[in-house]
């Protein structure tokens, strides 16, 4: 098992397949982003080699594919099919633009859980947030996915003055659909113009919903990041991910592999472990993995608390979200 100095077992690996994306969401990607050169990305075989070691040697039982937009990578289908042969739960996070092209593969290999990032149900506002015009395509792909029986979670980053007026619209979506909406507190990364005033807290989100609906608390999953609820009588559910105001670092079981082969023990950590170099030099990288996890900080990658006066400048020293992989 991969256990850190605080006794947390890390059995969940998130693999970023690419930092590229067909959207330009401002909370995720700086306006003048520079993508990684192709030669610096992990190859298909390197991804599979790392994944196999994490599963066979370190007890990882869940792998999530992320990006950028993972479905943009040309050999994504081959990667997904190969990873599906490992004894793990394989899931994916996507922006949904290309989903319809992959539903047959997902059905074939038994990938059932799909997280889709969608921050507005208003086409005009969605275009402003993503800087692209794909809302109708994403909406259609979500409909197809639900009709095909996939377990779909919709991730909405709530930002004050931008889309916080849509919280009720997203909750209402769960009335007649078996969809799971997750409201995410706005987090600070390089180039996303974060500040505390834009954060809509867990309490504010819940108060907003309870002001209109009668809700009940659902059982949360072990090591889960979200607190789940359901409006009485509704078919779907919703949850809140309180990364800022109520961090869940104490139960973290995640480790992240960036598209350029760097291992991150925390989403906010500014320290990374290079696995790409030892891979290409034929060096056993297992000891590097163990050291990375062992040195994991207790909270927030060792950075200051979010309400600290230097928080913005501290967190902006790290990567942008699209380069980390979420």
- Give me the sheet containing 113-117, strands edge to edge: 215-217, 226-231, 237-241, 180-185, 151-158, 113-117, 89-94, 62-66, 12-16, 254-257, 262-264, 273-274
149 belongs to a structural domain: yes
6 belongs to a structural domain: no
Domains contained in the chain, number: 1
Query: What pLDDT shows up at residue 34?
Result: 85
Query: What pLDDT shows up at residue 31?
Result: 84
CB 8 within 8 A of CB 65: no
7 belongs to a structural domain: no
127 belongs to a structural domain: yes
Q: What is the CATH number of the domain that holds 72?
A: 3.20.20.70
CB 89 within 8 A of CB 62: yes
Q: Which two tokens stand for residue 300?
A: 């927030």
4 belongs to a structural domain: no
Query: What pLDDT shows up at residue 240?
Result: 98
Tens-digit pLDDT profile for the chain (326 aa)? 999 999 999 999 999 999 999 999 999 998 888 899 999 999 999 999 999 999 999 999 999 999 999 999 999 999 999 999 999 999 999 999 999 999 999 999 999 999 999 999 999 999 999 999 999 999 999 999 999 999 999 999 999 999 999 999 999 999 999 999 999 999 999 999 999 999 999 999 999 999 999 999 999 999 999 999 999 999 999 999 999 999 999 999 999 999 999 999 999 999 999 999 999 999 999 999 999 999 999 999 999 999 999 999 999 998 999 999 87
184 belongs to a structural domain: yes
Query: What pLDDT shows up at residue 32?
Result: 84
2 belongs to a structural domain: no
CA angle 178–181–183, rounded 5-degree value: 170
**What confidence tens digit (pLDDT) does each residue in 260-306 have?**
999 999 999 999 999 999 999 999 999 999 999 999 999 999 999 99
CB 77 within 8 A of CB 104: no
Query: What pLDDT shows up at residue 2?
Result: 96
Query: What pLDDT shows up at residue 52?
Result: 98
5 belongs to a structural domain: no
Q: Which has the closest alpha carbon to 48: 19, 23, 81?
A: 81
State which residues form the domain around 300.
12-324
Query: What pLDDT shows up at residue 33?
Result: 85
């Amino acid at each position: 098992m991969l256990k850190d100095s605080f006794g947390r077992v890390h059995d969940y690996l998130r693999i970023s397949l690419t930092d590229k994306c067909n959207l330009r969401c401002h909370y995720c990607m700086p306006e003048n982003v520079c993508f990684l050169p192709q030669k610096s990305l992990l190859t298909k075989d390197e991804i599979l080699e790392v994944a196999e070691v994490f599963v066979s040697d370190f007890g990882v039982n869940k792998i999530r594919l992320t990006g950028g937009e993972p479905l943009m990578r040309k050999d994504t289908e081959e990667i997904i099919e190969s990873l599906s042969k490992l004894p793990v739960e394989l899931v994916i996070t996507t922006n949904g633009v290309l989903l319809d092209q992959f539903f047959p593969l997902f059905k074939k290999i038994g990938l059932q859980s799909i997280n889709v990032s969608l921050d507005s149900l208003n086409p005009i506002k969605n275009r402003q947030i993503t800087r692209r015009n794909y809302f109708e395509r994403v909406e259609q792909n979500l409909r197809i996915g639900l009709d095909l029986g996939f377990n779909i979670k919709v991730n909405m980053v709530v930002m004050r003055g931008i889309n916080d007026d849509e919280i009720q619209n997203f909750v209402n979506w769960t009335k007649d659909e078996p969809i799971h909406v997750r409201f995410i507190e706005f987090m600070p990364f390089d180039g996303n113009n974060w500040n505390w005033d834009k954060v809509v807290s867990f309490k504010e989100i819940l108060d907003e919903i309870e002001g209109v609906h009668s809700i009940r608390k659902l059982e949360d999953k072990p090591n889960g990041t979200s607190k789940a609820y359901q409006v009485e009588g509704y078919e779907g559910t919703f949850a809140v991910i309180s990364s800022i105001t109520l961090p869940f670092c104490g139960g973290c079981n995640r480790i992240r592999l960036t598209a350029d082969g760097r291992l991150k023990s925390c989403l906010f950590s500014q320290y990374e472990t290079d696995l790409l170099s030892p891979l290409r030099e034929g060096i056993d990288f297992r000891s590097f993995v163990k050291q990375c996890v062992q040195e994991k900080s207790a909270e927030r990658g060792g950075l200051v608390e979010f309400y600290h006066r230097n928080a913005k400048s501290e967190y902006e020293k790290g990567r942008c979200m699209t380069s980390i992989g979420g």
